[in-house]
Structure 1
Amino acid sequence: MLRRLRPSFSSFLIGITAALTIGPAVVVPAYAQTTGGAIVGVVSDVQSGVLPGVTLTARNAETGVVRATVSEADGRYRMAGLPPGRYDVKAELGGFSVVDLKDITLTIGLEVTHNITMQLQGVQESLTVTGQAPVVEATRTDVSGVISQQQIESLPLATRQPVALALLMPGTSQDAVRPRKFNANLGAGAFTNAGAFLIDGLWNKEPCTGEPRQDFPQNAIREFKVNLSNATAEYGWTASGVVSIATKSGTNLISGEAFEYFRDKSLNTMNRFEQAAHDTKGSPKPNYRRNQFGASIGGPIVKDKVHFFGAVERTKEDKFVTVSTGKSQFYSLLEGSFPEPEYSNTYFGKTDWQINSNQSVFVRFAGQQQDYTCDSCGGSAAYNSDGGINQPRRSVAAAHTWVISSRALNEVRGQYSFYGYYPHPVSDTTVFDFADYPAQRLKQFVPTFAFPSATYGWPAGLYVLQWAKEVRDDLSITTGAHTWKFGGGVRSMPSQDDVPPNNGAWTFGTDQVFDGTPATQALLRNPILFTATGPNTSIRRDLPNVYTEVYVQDEWKPVSNLTVNLGLRYDYQAKVLNTTLNASDTSIFPTFGTARDLSAFYDFKNRGDKNNFGPRVGFAWDTRNNGRTVVRGAFGVYYNPIWATVMRGEQTNFRQAAINISNPSYPDPYGGRDPFAFASTAPQNISIVDNGLQNSRAAASTVGISQGITSLMAIHADVVYNDMEGVPLLTNINPRANGTTGNRPNPTFARIDELKNLGYNKYKALLLRLEKRQDKNFQFLVSYTLAKGDGNIPFTGNSGRVTDSQNPDLDAGPSANDRRHVLVASGAYLLPGDVQIGAVWTLRTTMPFNAVAGADLNGDGVVSDFVPGTTRAMGNRDNATLLTAVNAYRATLGLAPFPASQLDSNDYNAVDMRVNKSFALGSHRKIDLIAQVFNVFGRDNLAASGGAGGQNGVPPGWTLNVRSDVFGRINQAYNRQQAELAVRVGW
C-alpha cells in the first residue's frame, strides 16, 4: 500500500490547546526570543524634574491596537513586547500639555528611547514630535542588524526566501548549505547547523541535522533580525548566531497581492560546462522553466481588535543538472544534461486578537510540501548518484502576551510541528509506508560505484519522521534602572527512522570505462574496497530528544548613557544520548550475553551533560549621550545541541551487519558465502558513544563601535572571536598497530568508531558595515568581512570523523568553509516615474580543499586518507607544498605530475539587479512589472560550496582524488546569466 504518512489534525489541536491553556497563570520556564520591540524613556518637566503617574498610550498606526502604561516614581516608562510596526504615542498628565510622538518605527527586537519633556498647560496646548528608528542602537550589546521589509521588497532575490538576504550582513555565508535548504552560516564560521533559526520567537530547526525545518512564503515575512555574535541570555542552543523572523499580521485595511515570477531557458545563458558540451558534442541548450506564483491577503475581522493574514506560494521548476567528469573517455555515457524537476508549495495563515489593552493572542498555521529530484547530482556525480527527497512539513503555533502592570510583561508561546523526510531515486518518486519494504521500494536502491573521477549509484534511503512540541515563556519586570527577564522552556523533538537494506558501495583506485549498465559493470577490475550495511535486513530506530532551558537576565542602566547586560543561562539536553536504552534489550543489542557483547561499552544511566551554564555579559556606552557614538563589548558561553543523526550508529550495531572488505573479489565480495555467514565470522565494525559525551561549547567575545554619520547613516565595526570546542567527531579506537597489516587491540571487533568531543574551531573576524536607511529615494548597505577560521573539524555539516585516529593532527588546518574576504554591497534607488532599481554585488575569495590519496593507507576501511605530506584543507592555502607532495605520491603510482594551473578556485563575483515599475490604479491598487537578472556580467563562478568538508548531500565541488587526472578541478558552475520577469498586482 502506498500512502503519505501524516499526523492527525487532532494532534495539532492538542498541541495548540496546551500552549494556550498553560498561559500566563504560571510562569512556565521558557526561552524568550521574542520578536517585539520596546519604547522606553523618562518623563520630566522643563526643570528636569521627573514626572510620575503620566499616562502613556501607544497606538499601532496599522492595526489600531493600543497599549497603555504609567510612568513610575522615577519618571521611567517602558512599553515592551510591541509587535514590529509604526506607532503613535501620547503622554498625558493633569495640569500639563499633551505630548504626541508620531511615527515611531519599531523593528524586530528594537528598543527605542524617547525621553519626554512636558510643559505646564497654558504655556503650550500640545507638542508633537516625529520619531524614527535610530540607525545607531544605543543600548545594543550584541553584533546584529535587521533586514527590513523595504530590503526584502526592493532587492533581487533568486529564491524568494528572505533568509537569503541574511548574506547582506557581514560574517555570513551559505557555503556547504545543502541544495534547497534555505540555511545560512552565522558568525562562528564553523558549520551550517551552529546557528539558531526562530519564527515569531519559536524554534524552526529539525533535531536530526539542525537545518531549518520549513520555509515560509515570502509574503508572510515582515522582517528579520540577524544576530552574528554574543546574543544575550534569552537566546540559547546556538554556538554562533541567531536569525529571528517576524511574520506579518493583518491591519485595519484589507490589502493583498497576487504575483507570478517566470524564468525560461530563453532568458538564460549557458554556464561554462553546458557551453562546452554544446560546442564539442553538439548538446542542445538545456531546457529550463520556472514558475513561482502565489497570493496573500490580510485585513480586519473586527476593526482595532481582530485581524487576519494569509499567504500561499508555489514554485515549480523544470531544471536540468549537468554531469561533467572531465574524463569523457571513461564516462561519456554518464555525462550530459539531465532533468531535475522540483516543486515547493508553502502556505501560511495567522489571526491576531487584541483582547484588551493589556492582553493579546495570535495563532498561526504554516505548511510546506516539497519534492526535488536529486540532492547533489552534477559535476563528477552521475545523475543517479544521490536521491531526491519528498518533504511534508507543518506547524501550528500560538502566543499570549499579558501586560500584568506598568512594570511587568509576560509572554507565553507554544508550537506543534511535523517534519517528514522521504528520499527516493531520481527515477521513482513513489513514497511508501514508514517501515514498509515492498519489492518496489527495494528495487529503488542501486549499488554505488566510486572512481577517482566519477561516482554512480544510490544504495539506500532511510525515511525519517519527526514531531516536536514546544512551550516557553518569559517574564519581564522593570524596577528603576533594571529590566529583568526570567524564563525557560521545554521542547520535545523525537524522531524515528526506518533503515532499509543497503546494496553496498564499491571503490576503485583507477578510472575505468563505465556507464552503469550490467555490461560495463561486468568489465570492472581491481576494486580496493567494498562496504555494505545490513544486506537483506531492515531496522527501525527511535531517537527521543528533549531540550530544557532556563535563564535570568538583567539590563541595567547605571547612568543614562551606559547599558550593562548581565545574564546566566542553563541548557540541558535529555534522552538524545540513548539514555532510555537498556544494554540487555536484545531487540536493540542482539549480541548481549555473547562473545560480542557490547554492554561493557555502555553506561546509559550516567550519560548526560548537566553542567551547561552559560554566563553572558555585555555593555553599550553612548559616549556623548546623544546616540551618535556607541562603544560596545560582550562575552558569553554558548552550547550547541547534539544532533540526533550522530546517535544513530549505536542503535544499528549487529542489527544490520556492517561489512567492510579491503581488496575484495569482484563481483562477489563474499567469495561465494552468504552475507550473513560472512558477517557472523568476520569481526564487525561497531559505533559507540563516549559515555562522557558533552554538548559542544563556544566562548564568544566581541568589541565594537557604531558611529552615526547622519540621522539615517552609520558605520559599524566589530571584532569577533569565537572559540568552539567539544564538537562530536567519530574516531577509531581500535586501529591496526601497523597501518593496514597490524593486529587490533580488541580482535573481537574490527573498527570501533567512538563519538567523542574532539572537534574545535577558532574563528577571528573583523566585521564592517556601512548602512543608509531609506530616505530621499534611496538606501544602501555595504558589508565587509575579514575572517580566519582554524580547527580540526573535517566537515561543514552535522557529522564527521577523524581522518586518521593515529595521526589526528593531520586534520588541523583552515576551517572547511574558510573564506578570508567577503564584500557584499546592496542598495535600491527610486527613480522618477515610480521606477525602482535594486542591486546586490557579492565578492568572495576562495575556500580550501583536500588532497585525498584514493586508497586506504591506514587500514581503517575508509578511503579518505590524505596524500602523505599533506594535511586537511591545504588546497588554495599552500599550493606549492600541496603539489610537491601530490606529485611525489603520483610518481609512486606511475602518474604524471600536475602544474600549478591544475588547481581551480571557487572565488565568487556576481552582480544581481532588479528593476520594478509601478502603475497606480487608484483606491490603493497598483500593478508592478518586475525584471531581475542574476550574475548580470556573466562571470564564470565555479560551484564548490562544500570546500574541504563536502558530504551529507553537499558535494565538495573539487575532484579530491589525486589518482584522477582532473584532481583539483571543479566540474560545476553557477549560471552565467539568468533573467526573470514578473508581474505583481496589489490592492
Structure 2
Amino acid sequence: MKKIYVGLIAFLVSAMAFSQGVTTSSIGGKITDNTGEPLPGATVVAIYVPTGAKYGAATDFDGYYRISNMRSGGPYRITISYVGFNDYVQENVNLTLGQSTTISTGLAESATALDEVVVTATGTGVFSSSKTGTETNVSQRDIQTLPSASRSLADFVRITPQAQLTEGNDGFSISLAGQNNRYNAIYIDGAVNNDVFGLAGSGTNGGQTGVNPFSVDAIETFQVNIAPFDVRQSGFSGGSINAITRSGSNEFSGSVYGFIRNQDLVGKTPPDLVGDDEQREKVSDFSAYTYGLRIGGPIVKDKLFFFVNYERQDEETPQPFNFSNYTGRSTLGDIDGLSNFLQSTYGYDPGIFDDNTRTLESNKLVAKIDWNINQDHKITFRHSYVGADNVEARNSGNRNIGFINGSETFKTTTNSTALEWSSRYGNKFANNFVLGYTRVRDDRDPAGAPFPTVDIQDGGGTISFGAEPFSTANLLDQDVFTITNNFDVFAGRHTFTFGTNLEFAKVKNLFFAFNYGDYTFEDQFDDNGILLSSGLNQFLTIQNSDVYQHGYSLVGDGTVGDESDGASEFDTFLLGLYVQDDIQVTDNLKAIVGFRVDVPYWSDGAVNEDFNTRTVGLLEAAGKDLQGARVGQGINPTAMVAPRVGFNWDVNGKGTTQIRGGLGVFTSRLPLVWPGGTYNNNGITGGFMFEFDQPFEPDVNNQFK
C-alpha cells in the first residue's frame, strides 16, 4: 500500500515495502557569543541523569553541532562550555522518540558573568523544530495516568485523532488514517512486531488469541506516526506504532501490580445490543485478571544496567444459554439423547452446550541489558517472550446448539530479540545499527477428540458438534530477521543520513479446511412440504448426509491434522536503501529532503507442469493476459520509490507559532497471506471434495477423497 501526503490530503495507491522503526532521539543547534558570532569548538555534553550516560560533541566552524543516537526520554542535563565564557546548563531536558530537539544559546564572557547560567526546561515538545508530519507521542507518565480498561496498546493509541478502534474476539483492530490495520507497522525497540502474515485482526503477533503483544508496564514511551517525512521510517500507509521498552538506571526500582475486571465493575448491556422492546441488564459473569512485576537497576553504576518485567493474564468469559429460548425443533431430551448416542455408538463425547466458557491464559516476559561502553559507544540487548493459550468456545444461541468440544483452541508463542549498537566517531560521523529476530509459532487446533464436523438442520435451528472445521489442519510458523543501519554525516547546517533496511522472512503455513470431513444433515420433506424425517433423525438412523466436504493433502502418506504434508513454505527478502538531508536552512526554518527505494523478492513455489503446459496455453488463447505468470514462479521484484520532503518554520523564532508540512510517498508491507495463497493453492499439494449423498464416516483418518 502506498500513500502520498500533502498537508491534510492523502492519496492512496497500491504497493509494498518494509517495516522500519526509529529507536533514538537527537539534539542539535548553534552556539554563539552574546553578539551572535559563532563559537567554533564549543563543547556540548549531554548526560542522561538516570544512568549517567554521556553524549558529547563540539561545534563546527559555523557554531553548529549535532548529537544523534541518544536515548529517548530523560531527564537530560545539557552543559555547553567554551574557554573564556561562562557555562550554559539546561536541566530536565526530555527528548521525544525520533525527533531532534534544538538547543541553541549565546554564551556570556566570563568577565561579565559570575556564575554559570542554569535553565530548567519545561517545554512540552508540541512545537519541536524537528516535527514535520502528524504524530502522537505517549510518554511513560501518560502510560501511568491515562485510563486503561484492557491494559492494551489500543487504550493509548485511541488518543490519536486519526485512529479508529474496533473490538472483536481477537482484541482491538486499529485503523490509522482510515486504512486497514494490516497496513500499519508495529515496532518494539526497532524490531518488527507485526503479524507479517496478516491473519490477526489486531495486526500483532499472537493476536489471533486476543493477547496483548507486550505488557504496557514494560514500555518507556511509544509514538504513533501518520505521516513522518523522515525516510528512515517506512513500512506503512496507515500509520506506525513505535514502542521503546524500559531500561534500568543507577537506582533500583520496581513494582508489583494487579488489575481485576468482572461483571460488577462494568456497566449494563451496551445500548447497541439491546432491542427496542428490551431493557439493559447486568452483563453475564466474567473475570479478567492481570498481574505482574518489574525490577530494574545497575549492575555496574554508570556502565551496565538490567530491566526485567513479567506479566500474567487470565480471562474467563462464560456464555450461559437458556434452552427455553431455543427456536429449533428438538427438545432438551432430544439433545441429551444425541449426546448419549455419540458416546455409545462412536465413543465420542461432544461435551456440554449450555455454558461454554471462553478462556485466555498468557505469560509475558521482557529482559533487557544496557551497556554504556563510553561516551561514543552504547549497546542495548533485549529479549521478549509472549505465550498464550486461548479457547474460543463454540456457544449456543436462540437458533443454534453448539457443543463445547467443537470449539477452537489456539496456542501461540512469540520470541523477539533485538540488539542495538549506537556509535559516534568524532564530531563528523555517527552510526546506529539494529539487528532483530522474531520467531512466531501459531497452532490452531480443534478441541476434544478427533471427530468429523457435523451440522444438523433442526427446523428453525442448527445443532453442531465435532471438530471446528477450520482448525483441523492449521498452523503457521514465521521467522523474521531484520537489519537496519543508519550512518550520519554532520556538515554544518546539514545532517546527511545514508541507510539500509533488510528484512528476511521464512514462512511455513499449513491449512486444509474440513480436514476431518464435514457432514450436513437436512430435514427431509415431501412435495407438499410435509416433514418426512428431521435432520436429527437422519443422523441418528445413520442415513447418508446431504452435503459432504473434505480438504486434504495430495502429497505424503495421508496423515491428517497438523502432521499433514503439503504445507506451503516460502521465503521473502526485502531490500531498502535511502538517503536524506536534514537542513537547518535558517535559525527559524528546518527542511528535510529524502529519497528511498524498496525492493521485495519472493522465492519460487511448487511447479505445476501440467497446468503450465496445458491450461495456461488455453487461457492465453482465449485472450487472457497472464503477463507471463506461471504456477510455481515467484513474484517479479518491483522497485518502490518513495521521495519525501518536509519543513518546519518557527514564525517568530520564539517557539509559539509554527507552520510545518510536507509531501511524501509511503509504501506499506503487503500481508504475506495474500500472495501466500499462490503457494497454497497450486493444484498439486492440496485437494478438496464436495459431494452430495455421502455416508457418514466417523474415522477422521478414513474420509472420502
Checking the alignment, whether the CA contact within 8 Å between 1:553 and 1:566 is kept in structure 2 is yes
SS at match of 2:226: strand
Q: Cα distance 1:378–1:551, how it changes in 2: closer, same or farther (>3 A)?
A: farther
Checking the alignment, whether the CA contact within 8 Å between 2:235 and 2:669 is kept in structure 1 is yes
Identify the residue that residue 446 of structure 1 maps to in structure 2.
Answer: 453
Q: Cα distance 1:60–1:225, how it changes in 2: closer, same or farther (>3 A)?
A: same
What is the distance in 1 between the residues matched to 2:143 and 2:288?
21
Q: Which of 72, 91, 97 is residue 60 of structure 2 equivalent to?
A: 72
User: 1:264: Cα distance to partner?
Assistant: 3.7
User: 1:109: Cα distance to partner?
Assistant: 1.9
What is the distance in 2 between the residues matched to 1:98 and 1:340?
63
Provide, for residues 911-961 of structure 1, a one-character-per-residue CA deviation record: whole Å limited to 9, x for no partner.
Answer: xxxxxxxxxxxxxxxxxxxxxxxxxxxxxxxxxxxxxxxxxxxxxxxxxxx
Q: Cα distance 1:447–1:496, how it changes in 2: closer, same or farther (>3 A)?
A: farther
What is the distance in 2 between the residues matched to 1:71 and 1:453?
78
What is the distance in 2 between the residues matched to 1:370 and 1:497?
19
What is the distance in 2 between the residues matched to 1:562 and 1:228?
22
Identify the residue that residue 406 of structure 1 maps to in structure 2.
Answer: 427
SS at match of 1:341: strand
What is the distance in 2 between the residues matched to 1:382 and 1:389?
22
User: 1:622: Cα distance to partner?
Assistant: 2.1
Q: Does 1:40 find its partner at 2:31? A: no
Q: Does 1:579 find its partner at 2:604? A: yes
Q: Cα distance 1:192–1:284, how it changes in 2: closer, same or farther (>3 A)?
A: closer
After TM superposition, list the pairs within 5 Å mapping 1:533-552 onto structure 2.
533-534=551-552, 538=564, 539-552=566-579
After TM superposition, list the pairs within 5 Å mapping 1:345-364 onto structure 2.
345-364=363-382
Checking the alignment, whether the CA contact within 8 Å between 1:139 and 1:562 is kept in structure 2 is no
Provide, for residues 532-570 of structure 1, a one-character-per-residue CA deviation record: whole Å limited to 9, x for no partner.
Answer: 423866422212122221111222232222222221111
Q: Does 1:394 find its partner at 2:434? A: no
Q: Cα distance 1:39–1:596, how it changes in 2: closer, same or farther (>3 A)?
A: closer
Checking the alignment, whether the CA contact within 8 Å between 2:357 and 2:393 is kept in structure 1 is no
Provide, for residues 64-105 of structure 1, a one-character-per-residue CA deviation record: whole Å limited to 9, x for no partner.
Answer: 111111011111111121112210011111111111111111
Provide, for residues 347-371 of structure 1, a one-character-per-residue CA deviation record: whole Å limited to 9, x for no partner.
Answer: 0100000000000001111001101
Q: Cα distance 1:454–1:209, how it changes in 2: closer, same or farther (>3 A)?
A: farther
SS at match of 2:183: coil
What is the distance in 2 between the residues matched to 1:597 and 1:460?
35
Identify the residue that residue 560 of structure 1 maps to in structure 2.
Answer: 587
What is the distance in 1 between the residues matched to 2:262 and 2:464?
30
What is the distance in 1 between the residues matched to 2:400 and 2:135?
39
Provide, for residues 169-221 of structure 1, a one-character-per-residue CA deviation record: whole Å limited to 9, x for no partner.
Answer: 1111222x65345552212x131211110111111113211722261222210
After TM superposition, list the pairs within 5 Å mapping 1:104-119 onto structure 2.
104-119=93-108
Q: Does 1:212 find its partner at 2:204? A: yes
What is the distance in 2 between the residues matched to 1:63 and 1:325?
63
Provide, for residues 86-138 of structure 1, a one-character-per-residue CA deviation record: whole Å limited to 9, x for no partner.
Answer: 10011111111111111111122232111111011121131111113422223
Q: Does 1:492 find its partner at 2:504? A: yes
Q: Cα distance 1:649–1:270, how it changes in 2: closer, same or farther (>3 A)?
A: farther
What is the distance in 2 between the residues matched to 1:598 and 1:297?
67
User: 1:449: Cα distance to partner?
Assistant: 7.0
Provide, for residues 514-536 of structure 1, a one-character-per-residue CA deviation record: whole Å limited to 9, x for no partner.
Answer: xx995585699999976542386
Letter paired with 1:490: L
Provide, for residues 577-617 of structure 1, a one-character-per-residue CA deviation record: whole Å limited to 9, x for no partner.
Answer: x5354444xxxx8x777889999860655732322111112
Letter paired with 2:21: Q
Provide, for residues 871-904 of structure 1, a one-character-per-residue CA deviation record: whole Å limited to 9, x for no partner.
Answer: xxxxxxxxxxxxxxxxxxxxxxxxxxxxxxxxxx
Letter paired with 1:617: V
SS at match of 1:50: coil
Provide, for residues 475-532 of structure 1, a one-character-per-residue CA deviation record: whole Å limited to 9, x for no partner.
Answer: 122222222222112211111123352524759899x99xx99558569999997654
Letter paired with 2:374: N
Q: Percentage identity across aligned positions?
A: 20
After TM superposition, list the pairs within 5 Å mapping 1:27-176 onto structure 2.
33-84=21-72, 85-124=74-113, 125-133=115-123, 134-175=125-166
Q: Which of 477, 499, 517 is residue 503 of structure 1 equivalent to?
A: 517
What is the distance in 2 between the residues matched to 1:78 and 1:42?
9
Q: Which runs of 5+ in 2 are unaligned?
A: 1-17, 207-212, 333-351, 621-628
What is the distance in 1 between the residues matched to 2:552 and 2:370?
52
Checking the alignment, whether the CA contact within 8 Å between 2:608 and 2:684 is kept in structure 1 is no
User: 1:163: Cα distance to partner?
Assistant: 4.4
Identify the residue that residue 315 of structure 2 maps to in structure 1.
Answer: 317
Checking the alignment, whether the CA contact within 8 Å between 1:63 and 1:251 is kept in structure 2 is yes
What is the distance in 2 between the residues matched to 1:181 and 1:113?
40
* Corresponding pairs, count: 614
Letter paired with 1:611: A
What is the distance in 2 between the residues matched to 1:532 and 1:327?
33
SS at match of 1:493: strand
Identify the residue that residue 222 of structure 1 maps to in structure 2.
Answer: 220
Q: Which of 629, 641, 644 is residue 669 of structure 2 equivalent to?
A: 641
Identify the residue that residue 965 of structure 1 maps to in structure 2.
Answer: none
Checking the alignment, whether the CA contact within 8 Å between 2:290 and 2:311 is kept in structure 1 is yes
Checking the alignment, whether the CA contact within 8 Å between 2:517 and 2:548 is kept in structure 1 is no
User: 1:337: Cα distance to partner?
Assistant: 4.5
After TM superposition, list the pairs within 5 Å mapping 1:423-822 onto structure 2.
423-425=444-446, 427-428=447-448, 440=449, 442-443=450-451, 446-447=453-454, 456=464, 458-461=468-471, 462-500=474-512, 501=515, 503-504=517-518, 519=537, 531-534=549-552, 538=564, 539-575=566-602, 579-584=604-609, 602=630, 607-646=635-674, 647-652=676-681, 653-660=683-690, 664-665=692-693
What is the distance in 2 between the residues matched to 1:566 and 1:408?
19
Letter paired with 2:49: A
Q: Does 1:369 find its partner at 2:387? A: yes
SS at match of 1:544: strand
User: 1:381: Cα distance to partner?
Assistant: 8.1
What is the distance in 2 between the residues matched to 1:523 and 1:138?
78
Checking the alignment, whether the CA contact within 8 Å between 2:522 and 2:535 is kept in structure 1 is no
Checking the alignment, whether the CA contact within 8 Å between 1:38 and 1:78 is kept in structure 2 is yes
Checking the alignment, whether the CA contact within 8 Å between 2:226 and 2:240 is kept in structure 1 is yes
SS at match of 1:165: helix
What is the distance in 2 between the residues matched to 1:606 and 1:349?
39
Letter paired with 1:446: T
What is the distance in 2 between the residues matched to 1:126 and 1:63?
24
Q: Which of 196, 201, 204 is residue 185 of structure 2 equivalent to?
A: 196
What is the distance in 2 between the residues matched to 1:229 and 1:378?
45
Give the TM-score normalised by structure 1. Answer: 0.57
SS at match of 1:648: helix
Checking the alignment, whether the CA contact within 8 Å between 2:183 and 2:668 is kept in structure 1 is yes
What is the distance in 2 between the residues matched to 1:275 and 1:218?
30
User: 1:642: Cα distance to partner?
Assistant: 2.9
What is the distance in 2 between the residues matched to 1:676 and 1:606?
33
What is the distance in 1 between the residues matched to 2:176 and 2:498?
26
SS at match of 2:356: strand
CA RMSD across the alignment: 4.0
Checking the alignment, whether the CA contact within 8 Å between 1:533 and 1:659 is kept in structure 2 is yes
Letter paired with 2:453: V
Q: Which runs of 5+ in 1 are unaligned?
A: 1-29, 429-439, 678-987
What is the distance in 1 between the residues matched to 2:271 and 2:19?
49
What is the distance in 1 between the residues matched to 2:163 and 2:271?
29
What is the distance in 2 between the residues matched to 1:376 and 1:245?
35
User: 1:659: Cα distance to partner?
Assistant: 3.5
Checking the alignment, whether the CA contact within 8 Å between 1:164 and 1:184 is kept in structure 2 is no
Q: Cα distance 1:329–1:276, how it changes in 2: closer, same or farther (>3 A)?
A: farther
What is the distance in 2 between the residues matched to 1:509 and 1:153?
58
Checking the alignment, whether the CA contact within 8 Å between 2:57 and 2:65 is kept in structure 1 is yes
Name the stretch that deviates more: 535-544 or 525-534.
525-534
Q: Cα distance 1:606–1:327, how it changes in 2: closer, same or farther (>3 A)?
A: same
Name the stretch that deviates more: 59-68 or 373-382.
373-382
